[in-house]
Amino acid sequence: MLTEVLLALVLGGIIYLLVQRSKRHQLKSEDGWWGVGNPPETEEEDVRIHPYTVRTSDEELEDLYRRIDQTRHVPSLEDSQFNYGFNSHYLQKVVSYWRHDFDWRRQVEKLNKYPHFKTNIEGIDVHFVHVRPTNLPEGVTAVPLLMVHGWPGSFYEFYGMIPLLTEPSNPDDAVFEVVCPSIPGYGFSDAPHKKGFDSVCAARVFHKLMKRLGFQQFYAHGGDWGWIVTTNMAQLEPQIIKGLHLNFAPPSKSGLLMVLSLILGRRFPKLFGFDEHDVQRIYPVFQNLVVETVKESGYMHIQATKPDTVGRALNDSPVGLAAYILEKFSTWTDHDFRNLDDGGLTRKFSMDDLLTNVMIYWTSGCIISSMRFYKENFSKGLYQPHTKMPVHVPTGFASFPNELTHTPKLWVQQKYRQLKTFTPMARGGHFAAMEEPQLMAQDIQNFIKMLEKRKK
């Protein structure tokens, strides 16, 4: 009798664990208020959407030039390239171009090429670019796509991709209606006035934005912070996100399978689906996953603990701001660029595009609030509820070879249970949308066309 009871308890426990494991938990989040003071008690929420135009002025440019002219040059060490940070000798060339040749007014016109808008959500104005296809073929419905940037990027990262998605040259390609918001605290979105605005809050705000625009369902793409924001969106309302496309997905936790793959993957790569590139990026583990991470994560520790201190200096010095931001566009594009005198910056990007991104931070004064996003996310602990929660939305992953954090297919699958495509990309690094817009747009096309055909 006792044996039967014990057996029943064991079987019951196994069944319970299996049921709990298969149960799809949904992320919960309550509405917030990020404006000044307390939320109004009687007024209804203002759901209006207002056109927005990026502007500049003589006073803004004169202030910028005055600050650039007063910068104090500090010589770099001999033969240091970008291994100590942004090389000061090359920085002088960048600053000279910025001061004498860069045309911010022309870049403002380029920014305004696409329609900009603002709308108030949870007490703050949220900025976004919304581009509809102009020549939609008869009988074709545009596919709604939300694209979310990261740090130290901006909505401008997607400008090279927008025409490829909204006006594709291939008649068999999907035609997209694109929405590119600025994360609150970034670019032209208001900064939260209260503590606690993390990726889940951003995800909730962007869901409200898309509903306000009339979208019942849509696709989402993200890299860097955009990865976790769109992932949270899929966890909050999986029935609304038709598909999730990512180009960045560092492991959120180390399960048994991941640990085994680290221990045995070098000797038995095929057992874990590792290819030659996986082995090169992962092993030796200490050098590639520990030492390299430490080399490139000092900024993260500062921003996750005391962002306002260094942020104040960057907010006052345009040259300091440029060095801080552009150094990431060097090393995160290809870590070997650390060994080049010019950091390889213009091998992948134009100087005008790089400085346009810097100017979005400078003119909006958003560097401190953008850095606080690290504090808000990391101060709640490395393992928040959403980090342990699998994603069951159909997912596509573009694996760029020079991404800062390499994530093999097996590791991506641990989080994204419906991984439909995993594409080893031919080239590209962390800022892939800006560096390789055609490759990224094509991978999004392939992923979404596959899902749409299956549904039909």
Q: Which of 114, 406, 430, 443 is catalytic?
A: 430
Among this protein's residues, is 207 annotated catalytic?
A: no
What's the CA angle centered on 350, arms 344 and 354, to 5 degrees? Answer: 85
Among this protein's residues, is 386 annotated catalytic?
A: no
Instruction: Give the end-to-end CA distance of the chain in Å, rounded to a whole number.
Output: 56
298 close to 85: Cβ distance less than 8 angstroms: no
- 170 to 308, 350, 370, 433: CA distances (angstroms): 48, 27, 38, 20
- 128: which 2 tokens? 């976004």
Kindly give the residue spans of alpha helices, DSSP state H, lying in 241-366: 256-264, 276-282, 285, 292-296, 298-305, 307-316, 318-331, 345-348, 351-364
CA atoms within 13 A on the CB side of 216: 0
- 76: which 2 tokens? 């770099």
267 close to 274: Cβ distance less than 8 angstroms: no
**Parallel, antiparallel, or unpaired: how do β-strands 218-222 and 143-148 relate?**
parallel
Q: How far apart are alpha carbons 268 and 270 in whole angstroms?
A: 6
Q: In this structure, what DSSP letter does residue 416 have?
A: B
User: What angle do helix axes 318-331 and 88-100 make, rounded to 10 degrees?
Assistant: 120
Q: In this structure, what DSSP letter does residue 114 have?
A: S
Q: How far apart are alpha carbons 148 and 27 in whole angstroms?
A: 19
Q: Which of 224, 278, 334, 353 is catalytic?
A: 224
Q: In this structure, what DSSP letter does residue 286 have?
A: I
443 close to 396: Cβ distance less than 8 angstroms: yes
199 close to 225: Cβ distance less than 8 angstroms: yes
**What's at 100, amino acid-wise?**
H
Q: How far apart are alpha carbons 76 and 381 in whole angstroms?
A: 37
Among this protein's residues, is 221 annotated catalytic?
A: no
Q: Identify the bridge partners of residue 126 per DSSP, sorted by sequence position.
A: 119
CA atoms within 13 A on the CB side of 224: 24
Q: Which of 198, 374, 386, 416 is catalytic?
A: 374
List residues with catalytic annotation: 224, 374, 430
